Amino acid sequence: MADILQTLSDSMANAVQSANQSLVRVEARRRLPASGVVYSADGLIVTSHHVVEMDENIKIGLPDGKIVKAKLVGRDPNTDLAVLRADASGLTVPQWAGADAVRVGHLALAVGRPGDEPQATLGVISALMHHSNENKYFAQTDVVMYPGFSGGPLVSATGQFIGLNSSALMRGISLTVQTPSIIYVADNLLQHGKMRRGYLGVGVQPARLPAGLVETLGQKSGALIVSVEADSPAEKAGLFLGDTIVGLGSAKVTDMEGLLAALGGLAPGSATTVKIVRGGQVHDLGVTIGEKA
Pair (167, 247) in one structural domain: no
Tens-digit pLDDT profile for residues 241-268: 999 999 999 889 999 888 888 887 788 8
Q: Which string of DSSP letters, residue by residue, matches 117-136? A: S-EEEEEEEEEEEEETTTTE
Q: How far is CA 39 from CA 36, 49, 94, 229, in A?
A: 9, 15, 8, 40
Q: Please identify which of the residues 76, 80, 181, 243 carries the catalytic annotation.
A: 80
Pair (191, 202) in one structural domain: no
The CATH number covering residue 178 comes to: 2.40.10.120
Pair (14, 98) in one structural domain: yes
Pair (230, 149) in one structural domain: no
Tens-digit pLDDT profile for residues 42-83: 999 999 999 999 888 899 999 999 999 999 999 999 899 999
Neighbours of 221 (CB within 10 A): 17
SS (H, E, C) 168-223: EEECCEEEEEEHHHHHHHHHHHHHHCCCCCEECCEEEEEEECCHHHHHHHCCCEEE
Tens-digit pLDDT profile for residues 190-233: 988 888 778 899 999 999 999 889 989 999 999 999 999 999 99
Pair (67, 6) in one structural domain: yes
Pair (189, 284) in one structural domain: no
- In the predicted structure, residue 2 carries a pLDDT above the cut 80: no
What mean pLDDT comes out for the span 122-145? 86
Pair (185, 204) in one structural domain: no
Neighbours of 103 (CB within 10 A): 9
**Among the three residues 156, 178, 195, which one is the final residue of a domain in this structure?**
195
Q: Please identify which of the residues 150, 167, 174, 181 carries the catalytic annotation.
A: 150
Pair (187, 67) in one structural domain: yes
Q: Please identify which of the residues 49, 50, 166, 243 carries the catalytic annotation.
A: 50
Count of the separate structural domains present in the chain:
2
Pair (102, 119) in one structural domain: yes
**Among the three residues 195, 230, 260, which one is the final residue of a domain in this structure?**
195
Pair (202, 140) in one structural domain: no
What is the extent of the structural domain holding 266? 198-291
CA gap 17, 35 in Å, rounded: 16
Tens-digit pLDDT profile for residues 91-114: 999 999 999 999 999 999 999 999
Identify whether 50 is a catalytic site residue.
Answer: yes
**Among the three residues 159, 179, 195, which one is the final residue of a domain in this structure?**
195
So what's the pLDDT on residue 194? 83
Q: Tell me how many degrees the CA angle 264-270-273 measures, rounded to the nearest 5.
A: 85
Burial string for 131-169 (b: 16+ CB within 10 Å, else e) reads: eebbbbbbbbbebebbebbbbbbbbbeebbbbbbbbbeb
Q: How far is CA 291 from CA 135, 155, 195, 264, 288, in A?
A: 17, 35, 10, 11, 10
